[in-house]
Structures are given as C-alpha cells and as structure tokens.
Chain A
Amino acid sequence: MRNVFTICGKEVRAYFTSPIAYLLMGLFGLITGFMFYSATVYFVNAGTQQQMTGQNSPMDIGQYVIAPLLGNAGVIGLFLVPLISMRLFAEEKRSGTIELLLTSPLNDWEIILGKWMGAMVMYLAIISMTAINIGLLFAWSTPDWRPIVTGYLGLILQGATVLAIGTFISTTTSNQIIAGGSTFAICLLLWVLSWVSNYADSALGKAVAYCSILVHFEPFSKGIVDSKDVIFYVSAIFLGLFLTARSLESLRWRA
C-alpha cells in the first residue's frame, strides 16, 4: 500500500505544480458559479412573484437550485475528466519514465491504483469548487443536507468511473492528445446513450440506456441512493482498472 501512496502523491504533486490544476479548478468554478447564480436568481424571482400573486405552493431550494447545480457539475465534470486522465500513462510512455516504474520493485496494480487515486484527488479538488456555492446557500437558508451528500457521492462515483476508463485509454497510446480525445469521445457517447430511452422500449434499448453514465447519476442528485446505480459505477470502475492492468501487461509483451 505504501507504493500506492508514493505514486499517488507524485501524481498529485505533478498536477499541482503545473498550471493545469488551477486552470481546471478555475474554469469549473466559473461555469458552475454562473449556473448557480442563474438558478438562484430565478428561484428568488419566482418565489417573490408567487408571494405577490398570492399563490402559496411551496418551492424547494433543493429541487430548484441544488439538484440542477450538481447535475450540471456532473455533466461538466464528464468533460474535464479527459484532461485529468490523459497524461497518466501517455506522458510516462512518451518520456520513457514508464521504464522506471516498470523496472522498480512494485506490482502493476500498485502503479495503476496509485495513478487512479492521484487523478481522483485532482477530480475531488475540482468538484469541491461547487462547495463554495452550496456554502453560500447554507449561510442564508436551511436547505436539506441529505440530497447534497448523495449528490456528491454520485459525482464522486461518476468521476471515479470515467477516470478508470480514461486511465485505461491513457495506457494505449503515448500521445496525450489522442488519449484525451478518445476519452472525451467516449464520455460524450456514454452521456448521449441515455437518449435511447426516449424512443426505444425494447430490451436492447434498455440495455443501451443502462450503459449511460448520466442515467445513473440523476437519482443521486435527487437524494436517492439506489444499489443498482452504485453497483453499476463500482463494476465499471473495476472494469476500467482491470483493462488498464491488462493493457499495461501487454505493454511489456509488445513494447
């Protein structure tokens, strides 16, 4: 386990000594901040209007502000993940440092786990930017905290899944642009797969829609933790890391 933390620590430092960490965090904060602002303004206006017209149907801040915020964070996160994962192995292959890792006394899975965890730390730092917005809500109101917790859990699981896939793709090439581009394309595909459920009712259609990553995220942002979604994410993470291990092994055989 020590080796895992050694690699993980090195990855985290690599992110935070380059501008990429701050760039991604800044961009993410900016975009989600704007979305949060729009949603809040809309919520306040709608609430005021209701009071003025005398209607008194209750409006829930969780439903109008928090759920959309976390939902959007999930989509944006999907597009940022390739930028995090693309360098993991591609950079090592390009610069030759992969020889250091593969000739040091550590198991392949320690390398993979360390790198994936390092990427996770970076991802957590990025999505934690939304905590500023949520914090503001807590300062001026009393939103229900439970959907917030499940929402973040969903964000983390989704990010971990896409990072595992991205890690695998990064082992297949020594070109970071190719790694990032392919991961981006796959993220996009996994997102739009959910559209199938709009028109296909067949078993195949359902199966295709099941593979969409965002379909499994939505319940989390509404405060629902369904074991089938958790199982989907966890098994996808395992698949991604397993493929990474196979790919790294084949690297030795092909080299």
Chain B
Amino acid sequence: MIKVEGLTKRYARHVAVNNISFEVGKGEIVGFLGKNGAGKTTTMRVLTCFLPPSAGKASVAGFDVVDQSLDVRKNIGYLPETPPLYPEMEIGDYLTFVAKLKGIASNDVPKRVDEVIGRTALGDVRNKIIGKLSKGYRQRVGIAQAIIHNPPVLILDEPTSGLDPEQQREARQLIASLSGDHTIILSTHILSEVEQSCSKVIIINAGEIVAVDSVANLHLRRKGGEMVAIQVAGAPESEVRQKLELVRGVARVMPKDAPEGFVAFEIESLEQNAIRPDLARAIVESGWDLSELRTVGESLEEIFLDLTKSEATKAKATQEVAQ
C-alpha cells in the first residue's frame, strides 16, 4: 500500500529525513516511532503530498506522491499533529465541508457525515461549535475528517498526544476499530501505544530508520540472558538467596521489595540459559512456597532507547526521550 524508497527531505539548513526506505502492506497498522524532531512528521507530510520529497520516491496505493498527487490525496486520510479544525464551525457543517472537499458525491455527503459521526461517537455534540469542544472531542473530529471518504490509507500524526489517559484509551480503541478496512500509519512517541495498537514498528532516529520489525521480534532483539522475577513466602531472605545463587546458569540475584511475609528477587540468567524450571525446583525442594515466578519482559522503552542510542548520533543520545 505504501512504498518509500530512498526518501530524503532537506530543509534550508538541515536534513530532516535522510534516505529512508520502507514498505507497508495492506491492512497493516504501523507505528512510526521516534523522538521529537526525528523526522516522523516530515515523512508523513511527504506521504500526504503536503511536502514534496527532495530526493527518492514514495507511492501510496500505487500512485506516486509527486506525479499523481491528486490520486494519492484521494486515497489518504490524514490527521495532522494539530487537528485541522475551523473553530467557528459546527461539527456537522465542518464534516460536510470536508466531505465535499474530499470529492464525495453531493447525494452521499449527508449519509457519510452521519456514518462517521456515529463511528466516532460525536452524535451528542454534532451541533456544537468546534471552538467550544474539549481536546478529546476535537481529536475525534480530527479522526472523523480523516476517515470521511473511507480512504484505504490512514496517516495519523500523534493521534493521542495531549489527551488524558481515558481519552487516549478511547482514541486507541477507535483506531483499533478502524484497522480492519484501512492501512494505518500512526506516529507516536508513546511506546506503550505502539505495543497496544501496532502490528509493526518503524523506529526512526535523526532522520534515519534504525529498525523495522514486529513488536514481538523487537523484544527478542536485545542480546543477553532473560530476567526472572520470583517471590517466595515464609522463608528467610539470606537462605533463599544462597539457594538461588547455586542454581546452574544464574548470573546475578538481586533482592527486591516484597510485601510482608514474602521475599522477592530478580534473577538474571547467563546467555541462552532457561533457568525457570530449575529455580522453581530449587524453591519447592527446600520446602518453601513459591508464590510468583515470571519473566520480566524487556520493555519496548529500553529497546527503543538502546536502538536510538547505538546509532551514530551518540552525541544526541544524552537528550532525554520525550515521554
């Protein structure tokens, strides 16, 4: 559905996107992940024909963004970082206006407007003036305008930024509900969002792609052994620790906070050692109660930090990741 080859976008003073290539298949939800200023918005603006590329090619639904710009625009729904809303208009009027802009036949306009209002749950406020809406509602109107012409491709630039957790959840559910019919690219710097909504992640740093992979594969990326959290009831801490350190393949045992009556540890294994069965056996054979045993997954956050740091831009790595 979307194909980007060697795309470069230069501004007067700096290169925003440098020679990136990726592909997105039909029906995929792709998370576009990167720090602020990494080039996410620029890439999206090229894909939506708002900006022309400086070099390279990009095509959406088989149409080139430069040569067949109008065709691309017909096939794309775009939610920019700030939803493009006219504060003086009522929601219904605004969506009618957008529907006409997107080339929907006049007869179908009221039907389509009703449909997206239903889909984005805006029925209660349809006659309200946009300027008086809360941020969550505005974002929904933004999504409504992006899907009004039922485009095969949706490009959403930070669809959940600035929303409270409740609204974020709603927005994510809305996006997830769209996933069946549309190919979606959404950019974000919130990692949990990617884990929840996306099938594929593109991590971009300083204008270059550092990883394109599924969320599951990204978790496997970091080398090193696994981390296991363990909680034991009714046993003295020092004894448990000794016992655990004796298990084969254990590299390190770190005590953790535990509720009263329990002791807890995090255990790091040596490379490629499956230590969980041995740990469980060691505890049970000593006559203690094993109350919890689980792997501590590498958070996507750490993978992300790792990937964006290990690239050539070490100098920038000290900058905090915007959360």
Contacts and interface: CB of A to CB of B under 8 A. Distances in A.
A102 B102 CA distance: 11
Interface in A15-69: 17-18
Nearest to B47: A103
Interface string B50-87: 11100000000000000000110110101011111111
A101 B101 contact: yes
A105 B50 contact: no
A115 to B, nearest CB: 13
Contacts, number: 77
Interface-centre pick from A97, A99, A101, A254 (highest chain B CB count, 10 A): A99
Interface in A221-255: 252-255
A182 B101 CA distance: 31
Interface of A: prevailing SS: helix
Contact of A10 (B71, B97, B102): B97
Contacts of B89: 13-14, 17
Given A17-B88, A100-B84, A105 B102 contact: yes
A255 B70 contact: no
Contacts of B80: 96, 99-100
Contacts of A102: 49-50
Contact of B100 (A6, A14, A103, A252): A6
Interface in B11-66: 12, 45, 48-52
Interface-centre pick from A7, A95, A253 (highest chain B CB count, 10 A): A95
A104 B86 contact: no
Give the size category of B's interface with A.
Answer: 20 to 34
Interface of B: prevailing SS: loop
B82 A103 contact: no
A189 interface: no
A106 interface: yes
Contacts of B93: 13
Given A6-B101, A97-B85, A99-B80, A104 B51 contact: no
Contacts of B51: 252-253, 255
B98 interface: yes
Interface string A99-124: 11111111100000000000000000
Contact of A255 (B45, B76, B87): B45
B308 interface: no
A91 B80 CA distance: 16
A11 to B, nearest CB: 11
A102 B46 CA distance: 12
Nearest to A14: B88
Contact of B101 (A13, A14, A100): A100
Contact of A18 (B52, B88, B106): B88
B103 interface: yes
Interface string B156-176: 000000000000000000000
Given A105-B74, A252-B51, A252-B52, A99 B84 contact: yes
A99 B83 CA distance: 9
Given A3-B100, A104-B102, A254-B12, 16 more contacts: A13-B89, A14-B89, A95-B84, A96-B80, A96-B82, A96-B84, A97-B86, A99-B45, A99-B84, A100-B80, A103-B78, A105-B71, A105-B73, A105-B102, A252-B52, A255-B51
Interface of A: 2-3, 6-7, 10, 13-14, 17-18, 95-107, 252-255
Interface of B: 12, 45, 48-52, 70-71, 73-74, 76, 78, 80-89, 93, 97-98, 100-103, 106, 145
12 contacts: A3-B103, A10-B97, A14-B88, A95-B87, A96-B80, A96-B82, A99-B50, A100-B84, A103-B50, A105-B71, A106-B101, A255-B45
